[in-house]
C-alpha cells in the first residue's frame, strides 16, 4: 500500500501541477515578438524561477531555425559581483541545449525580466498541487472503504465455485430467479457451509462529499488568488455587491503586479532591440478587470449623482411649489 500510495501521489501531483500551470500560462498575451522568442517558455520560466534572460544568440552559436543574432530567452542566475542593491550585475544564461553565456545586466545585450516585484516564481503552485494530490488520495481511499462487499468464507471448492458462478451470472446481466425461501439449498449449497465478513465501511460514503468540497475549495482559493474569482458549486451565504467587489479587487493585485513587471520587461526589450512588442492580460483576466471597473464606476456615478454643488444650487434655487388655496381666496393679482 505504501509504494502504491507514493506512486499515486506522484501521479496526482503531476496531474494537478499541469492543471495549475495551464491556468497560469494563460494569463498573458504577447504580440510583436520574433518567433525565436517563444512566449510559452518565457512565461513558464518567469513563473517557475521568477526571472528570465532575453538576449541575442552570439556569433558562432546559431543553429537551424535559430541563426546568429536571433532573440531568445533562457533561464538564468546572477553572478556574485553585486550592485549597490545587492543584486548580481552579471547574468549567466543557460539554454535548454546546454549553451551558456555571461552577460552584463546593465548592457544593451540583455534584458532581465521578472515575474513579480519580489523576483520570485509562484511557489504556491507547487504547494497547492501537493495539497490536491493528498486530497485525491484521500478520495481514493474513501471510495475503496465504502464498497459494500461481503467476504465469503466457504467450506469447500464446490461451494466456492457455485457462489462465484452465481455472481458471474449476475454481473453478466443474468440474475438467477428461484421460487423458494431456501436460496442456498436450491443452488446446491448448504447454509452451514457459508459465512461472510464485512471488511469495508459503507458509512464512509458520507465523508466523500466533504473531501470533494475541500478539493473544490483549494482550487477556488488558488484561482481567486490569481484574479479569477470563483464562487464554488455549493450554496454559500449571500454576499453584498461591495463584498463581491472587494474580493475581485483584492484578487487582481497579484495579476496586475505581474502585468506591470512584464510591461517593464517588454519596454526594455523594445528599447534595446528595436521592437514594438506589447503584453496584456488575456481575455479571461481582462473580463475580470472590466467587470470590476464597470461595477466600481457605477458605484462612483451613483455617489456623484447623489451629491450636489452648493454654489450651483444657490445660483439657481428651485421655485417652491405653490400651496393649495381655498376657493375664492385672493392670490394677490386680483385687479378688481
Residue 1: pLDDT band by 50, 70, 90 thresholds? very low
> Which residue has better confidence, 21 or 173?
21
For the chain, what's the residue count?
Answer: 336
Task: Note the pLDDT tens digit of each residue in 125-147.
Answer: 999 999 999 999 999 988 888 87
Q: Judge whether residue 16 has pLDDT over 80.
A: yes
Has residue 164 been placed in a domain? Answer: yes
Contact between 8 and 143 (Cβ < 8 Å): no
The fraction of the chain above a pLDDT of 70, given in percent, is 73
The full DSSP string for 99-113 is -EEEEETTSTTEEEE
Give the pLDDT confidence score for residue 81 in this predicted structure. 80
Averaged confidence pLDDT in the chain: 80
Which H or E run includes 199?
none
E strands, the chain, where?
28-31, 51-56, 71-78, 90-94, 100-104, 110-114, 150-154, 194-198, 278-281
Per-residue pLDDT tens over the stretch 232-258: 544 444 545 454 445 667 888 999 999
Question: Is residue 178 included in any domain, yes or no?
Answer: yes
Q: Are 88 and 82 in contact (CB under 8 A)?
A: yes
* Residue 332 lies inside a defined structural domain of this protein: no
Mean pLDDT check: name the lowest of 25-39, 72-86, 160-174, 185-199: 185-199
> In this predicted structure, what is the pLDDT of residue 203?
78
| Residue 229 counted as domain residue | no
- How many domains does the chain contain in total? 1
Where in the sequence is the domain holding 171, given as residue range(s)? 149-199
Residue 100 pairs with which residues in a beta bridge?
A: 94
Examine residue 165 and state whether it is found in any structural domain, yes or no: yes
Highest mean pLDDT among 165-169, 173-177, 244-248: 165-169
Q: Give the pLDDT confidence score for residue 121 in this predicted structure.
A: 87
Average pLDDT score over residue span 166-195: 67
Helix, strand, coil percentages, rounded to 5, for the chain: 50, 15, 35
Cell of 238: 449571500
Tens-place pLDDT, residues 280-327: 999 999 999 988 888 766 544 444 444 445 455 455 555 555 555 555
Task: Note whether residue 182 is domain-resident.
Answer: yes
Q: Is the pLDDT of residue 25 over 70?
A: yes
Q: Which of 52, 82, 55, 49 is nearest to 70 (CA)?
A: 55
pTM of the model: 0.69
pLDDT above 90 as % of the chain? 42
Whose CA is closest to 50, among 120, 124, 123?
A: 120
Least confident of 137-146, 155-164, 185-194, 215-224: 185-194
| pLDDT digit string, tens, across residues 73-127 | 999 998 878 888 888 889 999 988 888 999 998 899 999 999 998 878 888 999 9
Task: Give long-range contacts, CB 8 A cutoff, 24+ apart: 256-263.
Answer: 256/289, 257/116, 257/117, 258/27, 258/28, 258/115, 258/116, 259/28, 260/117, 261/113, 261/114, 261/115, 261/116, 261/117, 262/28, 262/46, 262/113
Residue 183 lies in a domain: yes
**30 falls within a domain:** no
**Residue 129 confidence (pLDDT):** 95
Amino acid at each position: 500500500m505504501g509504494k502504491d500510495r507514493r506512486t499515486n501521489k506522484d501521479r496526482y501531483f503531476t496531474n494537478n501541477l499541469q492543471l495549475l500551470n495551464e491556468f497560469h500560462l494563460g494569463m498573458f498575451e504577447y504580440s510583436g515578438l520574433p518567433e525565436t522568442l517563444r512566449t510559452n517558455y518565457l512565461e513558464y520560466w518567469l513563473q517557475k524561477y521568477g526571472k528570465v534572460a532575453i538576449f541575442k544568440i552570439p556569433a558562432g552559436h546559431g543553429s537551424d531555425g535559430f541563426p546568429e543574432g536571433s532573440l531568445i530567452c533562457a533561464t538564468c542566475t546572477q553572478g556574485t559581483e553585486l550592485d549597490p542593491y545587492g543584486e548580481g550585475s552579471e547574468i549567466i544564461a543557460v539554454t535548454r541545449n546546454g549553451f551558456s553565456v555571461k552577460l552584463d545586466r546593465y548592457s544593451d545585450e540583455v534584458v532581465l525580466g521578472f515575474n513579480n516585484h519580489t523576483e520570485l516564481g509562484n511557489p504556491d503552485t507547487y504547494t497547492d498541487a501537493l495539497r490536491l494530490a493528498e486530497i485525491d488520495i484521500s478520495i481514493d481511499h474513501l471510495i475503496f472503504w465504502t464498497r459494500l462487499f461481503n467476504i465469503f468464507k466457504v467450506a469447500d471448492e464446490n461451494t466456492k465455485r457455485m457462489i462465484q458462478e452465481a455472481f458471474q451470472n449476475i454481473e453478466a446481466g443474468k440474475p438467477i430467479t428461484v421460487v423458494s425461501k431456501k436460496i442456498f439449498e436450491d443452488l446446491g449449497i448448504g447454509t452451514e457451509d457459508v459465512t461472510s465478513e464485512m471488511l469495508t465501511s459503507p458509512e464512509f460514503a458520507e465523508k466523500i462529499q466533504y473531501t470533494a468540497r475541500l478539493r473544490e475549495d483549494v482550487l477556488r482559493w488558488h484561482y481567486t488568488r490569481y484574479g479569477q474569482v470563483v464562487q464554488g458549486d455549493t450554496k454559500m451565504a449571500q454576499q453584498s455587491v461591495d463584498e463581491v467587489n472587494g474580493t475581485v479587487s483584492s484578487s487582481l493585485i497579484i495579476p496586475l503586479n505581474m502585468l506591470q513587471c512584464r510591461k517593464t520587461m517588454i519596454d526594455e526589450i523594445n528599447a534595446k532591440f528595436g521592437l514594438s512588442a506589447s503584453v496584456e492580460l488575456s481575455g479571461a483576466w481582462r473580463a475580470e478587470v472590466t467587470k470590476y471597473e464597470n461595477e466600481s464606476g457605477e458605484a462612483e456615478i451613483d455617489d456623484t449623482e447623489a451629491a450636489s454643488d452648493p454654489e450651483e444650487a444657490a445660483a439657481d434655487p428651485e421655485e417652491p411649489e405653490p400651496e393649495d388655496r381655498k376657493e375664492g381666496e385672493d392670490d394677490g393679482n386680483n385687479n378688481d
